[in-house]
Amino acid sequence: MEFDLSWIFLGLPLAFGLGWFASRFDLRQMREENRRAPKAYFKGLNYLLNEQQDQAIDAFIEAVQNDPDTTELHFALGNLFRRRGEYNRAVRVHEHLLSRGDLSRADRERAQHALALDFLKAGLLDRAEDALRRLEGSAFEGQARMALLAIYERSRDWPQASDIARRMHDAQQGDFSTRLAHYLCEQALALAAHGELPAAQALLEQALATAPQAPRARIELARLQQRQGQPEAAFDTLQALAQAAPAALPLAAPLLVETATATGQAPQAQALLQHHYEVMPSLDLLEAVVALEAANANTAAVGREWYVRHLEREPSLVAATKWLAGETLTHEQFHPQIQRALEQAAKPLTRYRCAACGFEARQHFWQCPGCQTWDSYPARRVEEL
Ligand SMILES: [Zn+2]
């Protein structure tokens, strides 16, 4: 018994000693690691300054393994690589972050978002879509949905785009009704191009119900009705357009003339066009008024007075060129050359221009081919802007 007690007396200090030694050892190891981590940063920085970026990344990865606090350094690096167009490296950095088990939820979402941006910038849309879908329910949900919408629009996947837009609309992330109507119109046009006219019409009517204030569905519907041999219906649709969205009437002015002439409603169309022309003296409305007047009077000379009236209000090269085309000059033999030069000069003025990016085009676009913005083309020509 005594013998055992003496062992305990001896053992206690020994245990203390061992514990003290172990704690010293841990501390030394910790200091060693802390010293090692800054060393890895500097090694990485050195590589970076020497433009040895692969080695720099390896050094930084080593640093982050030794010290989890280097997360910010990884984000900075990843963004740097993405900005430089080095998408593989950006992906590598962000995937490495995501593979770590000790990452906070906020940092994990941030890394997932950064990874999605890498794929987007690299043009790897399938992988970007997958990465963005993982952000549903995260702090980046709104941004991710916008990016997904852009992907689906670019690939003309209108049902998927509609699904996202509807979710954003329901979550009150903005009013997406006009955009949803555009998607329906796009699908309707695709059907109409394949001759499926009744199905196209059903979609256009749905688009009209989705966004009654938007002009596109009415214009496309009138075109479709005219194509189906229903000029009366088309004329009625355009009259409704003039009521609901008068600013867009110039886009449909030639069709209005066509349907009015076909249905014997030229006087009504003329009154409608003149009324809107008085409110907004647009070149397309002017052109339609001239066409109807000339057809009525059976002579182009009557219509041409409208160009002079327009010139009294607006100093328009387009209108002046059109008026001059029907004029007889003192030196008539030079008229063709003069006319050609004027028409050449007036041509760029008849283009449409995107209000968001300034991209100009001969035809009107509902979505700008330059910057992908919807409804950024006013229904007015460059000369009228
Ligand atoms: Zn644009």
Q: How far does Cα 67 stand from its chain's mean position? A: 41
Ranges of residues in the chain whose predicted pLDDT is under 50: 1, 25, 30
Q: Percentages helix, strand, coil for the chain, rounded to the nearest 5? A: 75, 0, 20
Count of alpha carbons within 13 Å of 93, Cβ hemisphere only?
31
Host H or E run for residue 181: helix 177-193
Q: Encode pLDDT of 65-110 as tens digits.
A: 676 667 888 887 888 889 889 999 899 989 988 988 888 899 999 9
Q: What is the pLDDT of residue 314?
A: 87
**Å from CA of 228 to ligand 1 middle:** 33
**Å from CA of 356 to ligand 1 middle:** 5
Contact 252, 224 (CB under 8 A): no
Q: Is 328 helix (H, G, I), strand (E, B) or coil?
A: coil
**Å from CA of 351 to ligand 1 middle:** 14
**Å from CA of 286 to ligand 1 middle:** 27
Dump strand ranges (E) for the chain: 352-353, 360-361
Q: What is the pLDDT of residue 296?
A: 76
**Å from CA of 359 to ligand 1 middle:** 5
Q: For the chain, give the number of residues.
A: 385
DSSP character at residue 248: G
Which sign, positive or negative, has the C-alpha torsion 121, 126, 127, 130? positive
**Å from CA of 37 to ligand 1 middle:** 49
| Cβ-proximal residues to 168 (8 Å cutoff; 6+ apart), any chain | 142, 145, 146, 149, 174, 176
Q: What is the pLDDT of residue 377?
A: 96
**Å from CA of 368 to ligand 1 middle:** 5
